[in-house]
Amino acid sequence: MDSTSVDRRTSSHKPALAIFAALGSAWVFVLVSLGAFTTSIGAGMAFPDWPLSNGSLNPAGWLTNLSLFAEHSHRLSAGVMSTITLILAIWLWQTEARPWLRRLGWFAFGLVIAQAVVGGLRVLLDPDALPALQTSVGRLFAMLHACLAQLFVCTLIATAVACTRGWIERTVPVGNLLRRVGRVCCALLFVQLAIAAVVRHSFAGLAIPTFPYSTPDGHLLPAHWDFRVAIHFAHRVMAAIIAVALIFFAFLVRRDRGSTIGMRAAASTLVTLLVLQIYLGAQIIWTQRTATMTTAHVLVGALTLATTFWLTWVAHRDILASRTDS
């Protein structure tokens, strides 16, 4: 690397880069929404091939057929996301002095490529049945695809936040308890989202068809058990645990003297998202899993994780600064 390229790299605030990273973080929720809608209407196998759709970049009839439109739109939005992530990685590599942030940009690009490959394997391997698990190899990749999506969301948010003026120019000296609880909440949400992916792709969304009780006559425990009932019930139990954890986390953020106004506002938003997510989960049962409610439930789940991760990431700013920015 010559001296000219070194001189171009700084850790100062770059408004254009920060805006582009923020727009990339916003676009990922478009991608999540389209993927959730595609799964909700059962259109994941609308095209039996990949990376093309019926052998074409512009398959016939995709604008007039809902299933074809949902799946092809998801694929096109993934292409846009891949392009955005590549540009962001190159931009960071060329202009950013912080080595860890440059590496994070390439990690995000690696993730989006892995996501695309896993999504393709979901399609190509769907015919390969796994009778012992009552599923297919393709659906196992669909579950992995859903989990990687949430990791990708957090990676883009971490990158975008690190590009902001607030991150670069000041630290956030919050308490250790807040940081620890934030990490626990993020871990719980990742586990819950993995369980949710299994629920969706094993057709267990209505395995327990009543809410809030598990039986029509008001029992908390299901009357009978099988895999689908068990994974659905685990999703409900985790929801209760996460509700308590997130409310406690929001309380800690609100009362911590080091929290910024933005962090306190995000904590209030987090509680609102939690209430909305529980409501949407109930609506999935009460409406017999309509596509609108199911898609909204997935999107709000991703927003809940994003808000929790953002708060946790910002809370670690001073620690990360001392280890990586010096």
| Mean pLDDT computed over 59-77 | 96
**H/E run at residue 213:** none
Round to whole Å and give the CA distance between 27 and 36. Answer: 14
Structure-token pair, residue 267? 């904590």
Where does residue 33 rank: exposed (0-12), middle (13-18), buried (19+ CB within 10 A)? middle
**Which pLDDT score, from 0 to 100, does residue 200 have?**
92
**Which pLDDT score, from 0 to 100, does residue 292 have?**
95
Let me know: does 326 contact 292? Beta carbons within 8 Å. no
Round to whole Å and give the CA distance between 91 and 274. Answer: 35
| Mean pLDDT computed over 163-167 | 91
**Which pLDDT score, from 0 to 100, does residue 323 have?**
61
**Which pLDDT score, from 0 to 100, does residue 322 have?**
66
| Mean pLDDT computed over 282-300 | 95
Q: Would residue 203 be called left, alpha or beta, if left means φ above 0 and alpha means ψ between -120 and 50 degrees?
A: left
- Whole-number percent of the chain with pLDDT over 70: 95
Structural domain spans, the chain = 1-169, 171-326
Let me know: does 212 contact 282? Beta carbons within 8 Å. yes
40 - beta bridge partners? none
Q: Which of 37, 59, 39 is nearest to 49 (CA)?
A: 59
Helix ranges (DSSP H) in 61-125 = 66-95, 99-124
* pLDDT above 70: residue 170: yes
Q: Which of 91, 95, 55, 50 is nearest to 74 (CA)?
A: 50
CATH class of 171-326: mainly alpha
The 3 state secondary structure assigned to 128-163 is: CEEHHHCEEHHHHHHHHHHHHHHHHHHHHHHHHHHC
For the chain, give percent helix, strand, coil, nearest 5.
75, 0, 25
* pLDDT above 80: residue 237: yes
Residues 6+ apart with CB under 8 A from 120: 50, 51
| Mean pLDDT computed over 304-311 | 98
pLDDT band at 131 (very low <50, low <70, confident <90, very high): confident
Round to whole Å and give the CA distance between 291 and 297. Answer: 10
| Mean pLDDT computed over 296-320 | 94
* pLDDT above 80: residue 31: yes
Average pLDDT, the chain: 92
- CA end-to-end span of the chain, whole Å? 21
- Please tell me what DSSP assigns to residue 41: T
Three-class secondary structure of residue 118 per DSSP: helix
| Mean pLDDT computed over 181-202 | 96
| Mean pLDDT computed over 50-62 | 94
Round to whole Å and give the CA distance between 276 and 81. Answer: 27
pLDDT band at 1 (very low <50, low <70, confident <90, very high): very low
Let me know: does 192 contact 235? Beta carbons within 8 Å. yes
| Mean pLDDT computed over 154-182 | 92
Tell how far CA 258 is from the center of its chain: 27
**Which pLDDT score, from 0 to 100, does residue 249 have?**
98
**Which pLDDT score, from 0 to 100, does residue 37 have?**
95
Round to whole Å and give the CA distance between 159 and 193. Answer: 22
Distances (CA, A) of 55 to 34, 51, 59, 60, 225: 21, 8, 7, 10, 43
* pLDDT above 60: residue 221: yes
**Which pLDDT score, from 0 to 100, does residue 326 have?**
45
Highest mean pLDDT among 171-175, 197-201, 274-278, 320-324: 274-278
Tell me if the bond preceding 51 is cis, omega within 30° of 0.
Answer: yes
Q: What is the pTM of this model?
A: 0.92
**Which pLDDT score, from 0 to 100, does residue 134 have?**
74
Round to whole Å and give the CA distance between 145 and 139. Answer: 9
Highest mean pLDDT among 35-39, 130-134, 168-172, 322-326: 35-39
